[in-house]
A and B are shown apart, each in its own frame.
Chain A
Amino acid sequence: MLYNIIAKLDKKLHFPVLQAHCDIPCKIYDPINAQIAALTIIRMVDLLNELKAKPMLNLDEQAQFLRLVNQKEVHGLKVKEEVNVIWGDYIKAPQLAQYPELHELVHSIMLASSQAKQHISKEAALTLLAKVNRFAEIFWSTKKVTTYTAVCPYPPAEKLIYPNLQSS
């Protein structure tokens, strides 16, 4: 009753709004951020390998080298953070019962991301993407959304798992 009275007053007086912030928008989970971060690592490795092929780096190229390495680091951490949030907040007993491999898979993503950060290795970056793609596949499956594989329409043009949202 009191609530209704205050709500009516609010309609007339427009009380200020206080935010009770969440870390992420509630119940909005999507592995695409992790997938794009994994793709970014691959792209950074490709660009770093282009620099590697040069006998000498001028000042601009040295600056670019630093920038590429930095972005590789940032996106390696982003993969971890994005996967961790879904794993920690969304994955619960029903999803684990359905996919017992999830804990192992998430842990292997953490390790693979570290590997991709530590080395300028396309192989390590592709391994990470494969694991993140598997995570995305499982995520969409728990939401009863079918998925398909397609090559992303931009560099590094690698295969990505996409949700088939029109079918659900």
Chain B
Amino acid sequence: MFGFHFCKVSGMSMSPRIPENSYVFIVPWLKVFSLKEGSLLKVFHPRYGYIVKSLAQVDRNGLFWLKGLHKTSVPIEKLGPVGKSQIQGKVLWVFPPK
């Protein structure tokens, strides 16, 4: 509605960059610009639902490969690639708990 929204993060696969219970400020329309490796993305994943992950790589077919930042994160190959339509927005700011 406002072109942005907040989400709460559950799980620690993105820590230390996004600690558990952080709030993230998401801007959906920023995905129309080129996304760089390391960008934090909100993604609708067919198996895991709404997730937040870091962009690992865009392959030659234009598919987006995602990764977590913690050693316990679901590995890249298990997450698999996603299309741009599954990207729900880019994380602009992270508000970690104290």
Contact = CB atoms under 8 A, between A and B. Distances in A.
Interface string A23-41: 1101000000000000000
A22 interface: yes
B36 to A, nearest CB: 20
A19 B51 contact: yes
Q: How large is the interface on A (under 10, 10 to 19, 20 to 34, 35 or more residues)?
A: 10 to 19
A20 B23 contact: no
B73 A6 contact: no
Contacts, number: 84
Contact of A15 (B23, B52, B72): B23
Interface of B: 5-15, 18, 20, 23-24, 42, 48-53, 68, 70-75, 78, 95-98
B52 A18 contact: yes
Contacts of B12: 20, 22, 26
Contacts of A89: 71-72
11 contacts: A2-B95, A15-B5, A16-B7, A18-B10, A19-B11, A20-B51, A20-B73, A22-B13, A22-B70, A23-B74, A24-B72
